[in-house]
């Protein structure tokens, strides 16, 4: 698997090094910017609040066991 990925990366590098189309280059730059955005800025305020509450609960050692969580969310698992 690793060799296949490496080969594909090398193909892309070679293709990119010969690319002359400015529009495609701009699209690739924009794509890279979109892909490297911080996920925190893309989630909802509700999700951020939930994550922050989980961190506070963890810091206060207010945690539930795995088995309790499974019981609570059993119908969705």
* Per-domain boundaries in the chain: 2-36, 40-76
Instruction: Provide the pLDDT for residue 23.
Output: 96
Instruction: Provide the pLDDT for residue 44.
Output: 94
CB 48 within 8 A of CB 40: yes
Helix and strand element counts for the chain (H, E): 4, 0
Instruction: Provide the pLDDT for residue 1.
Output: 65
| Tens digit of each residue's pLDDT (9 = 90 or more) over 55-68 | 999 999 999 899 99
pTM value is: 0.46
| Tens digit of each residue's pLDDT (9 = 90 or more) over 31-51 | 998 888 888 988 999 999 999
Q: Which letter does DSSP use for residue 57 in this model?
A: H
Q: Exposed e or buried b for every residue in 8-28, given b needs 16+ CB within 10 A?
A: eeeeeeeeeeeeeeeeeeeee
């Amino acid at each position: 698997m690793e060799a296949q990925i490496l080969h594909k990366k090398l193909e892309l590098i070679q293709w990119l090094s010969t690319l002359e189309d400015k529009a495609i280059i701009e699209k690739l730059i924009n794509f890279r910017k979109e892909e490297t955005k911080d996920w925190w800025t893309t989630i909802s305020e509700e999700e951020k609040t939930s994550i922050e509450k989980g961190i506070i609960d963890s810091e206060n050692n207010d945690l539930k066991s795995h088995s309790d969580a499974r019981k609570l969310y059993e119908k969705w698992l």
